[in-house]
Amino acid sequence: MSATLVERASTFLESKLSRRSFINRSAYAGSAVAIGAGLDLALKPGTAYGLVCRCGSSNCGCGSTCCAGFTEFCCSVNNGYNYCPSNTIMGGWWKADNSSYCGGPRYYMDCNATCSCTTGCGNGWGFCEPGCDGVHCGCGPNGCNSYVTGCFQFRYGQCNQHVNCIGRIVCRLVACVPPWEIDPTCTTANAQDNSTAEQNAACWTPAFPVAAPGPCSSPLTNCQVVGMAPSADGAGYGMVTSFGRMIPFGDFPNDGDATAGTLNKPMVAMAAHPGGGYYLVAGDGGIFAYGAPYFGSMGGRRLNQPMVGMAATPNGKGYWTVASDGGIFCFGDAPFFGSMGARVLNQPMVGMAATPSGTGYWTVASDGGVFSFGDAKFHGSTGSLHLNRPVVGMASPTTGQGYWLVAQDGGIFTFAVPFLGSPA
């Protein structure tokens, strides 16, 4: 009986929902059968679509986002972090080609709830009863304007194949890197839905997915330090947070910051001007100059990946910025010496620093891996160490002998340079 209901309901849904394939429509219809009374669905064909439409909230209209048949982004339900929440596992994935957000393939991974009991699983059915998975069906944080969470019993099945009983989909993780680079249990068996390539959430970024950090021990920075820059004589440095606060140490000047304004995108880095003053740079490429000359920015222009770092030229007539994929952008008289753009990175790039000659620079990744270009010399890195918080930026003194790396909590790592203090 249930197979007949699934078949009949999926045929009805085919005319109502734009979805990835017949198997998807069958899954939704199967969920509807599980929610409603089977005989009632057989006698009232419209009820199946009505139940799917109301799966998030009965207060939402059938044309709303919550009733579109898709699951909410994980960053929307996971405090802004693009990561599978606790008590979920990756159940499978699909790919969308030609996504403008990734400049190519974009990958969507379903995070299914784990089960506290196996009631309902068996006889070819791999989903526990709703009471066993600890989640509730509803709309995402924006109500009817969100996709659903905890509603659908569906699994593509390329990930965690050793787990044969899972719960409903809580959210979907989205990334520009293949799923098997995030969860080694995932296979390369491809499922495709190019129609989802441009779906987006305000909290999503193309950076490699990371888990939410633990409690912060630095009230001054709120563990949101994103970059640093040295003073002209190397006897100090400043730090900047994502919300635009600049914190000076040593003899670093304090010419103001962006805490009094509203940012379109969070700050991601800072750079000192050799004649005094400094720059702050936001994720959209916008440059904020404090006591330093302005030479242009990528603000308002399309970026393949968000901006993450910046360095000024030693003569003060230009600067570089770096994107998370390692691409370098030059302004003023800043010359190009190479980049990691279009090359595979273990972790995304997060910052850069220039040599005193102006004929080289370093870039640094979130694991503390350092890359040298031009006349920049390698002095070591934290790439092989376990870090409490990821590295978010770097700076080098005017001598060019070594560099500092700064972590998200304000912790400082020194390589051939002195330690001058930190808020961590």
Q: Is 106 helix (H, G, I), strand (E, B) or coil?
A: strand
* Cα separation, 222 vs 212, whole angstroms: 14
| Mutual angle of helices 2-14 and 22-35, in 10-degree steps | 120
CA angle in degrees (0–180, nearest 5) for 341-347-352: 60
DSSP 310-338: EEE-TTSSEEEEEETTS-EEEEETPPP--
Which of 186-190, 229-233, 264-268, 358-362 bottoms out in mean pLDDT, i.e. has the lowest?
229-233
Question: Looking at residue 4, what DSSP letter applies?
Answer: H
Mean pLDDT of 237-258: 91
Per-residue pLDDT tens for 108-118? 999 999 999 99
- Name the maximum alpha-carbon separation found in the chain: 82
Instruction: Tell me the pTM.
Output: 0.50
* Cα separation, 246 vs 254, whole angstroms: 8
Output the six-digit token pair for 356. 């005193």
Torsions phi, psi for 322 (to 5 deg): -130, 140
Q: How high is the pLDDT of residue 121?
A: 93
Measured between alpha carbons, how far apart are the two ends of the chain, in Å? 63
Which of 2-11, 182-191, 325-334, 383-392 bottoms out in mean pLDDT, i.e. has the lowest?
2-11
* Cα separation, 109 vs 90, whole angstroms: 7
Mean pLDDT of 96-100: 92
Per-residue pLDDT tens for 297-310? 988 888 888 888 88
CA of residue 339 relative to chain centroid, distance: 22
Confidence check: pLDDT of 2 > 70: no
Of the candidates 70, 103, 96, the one whose C-alpha atom is nearest the C-alpha of residue 190 is 96
Cα distances from 132 to residues 123, 135, 343, in angstroms, run 18, 8, 44
Arithmetic mean of pLDDT over the chain: 82
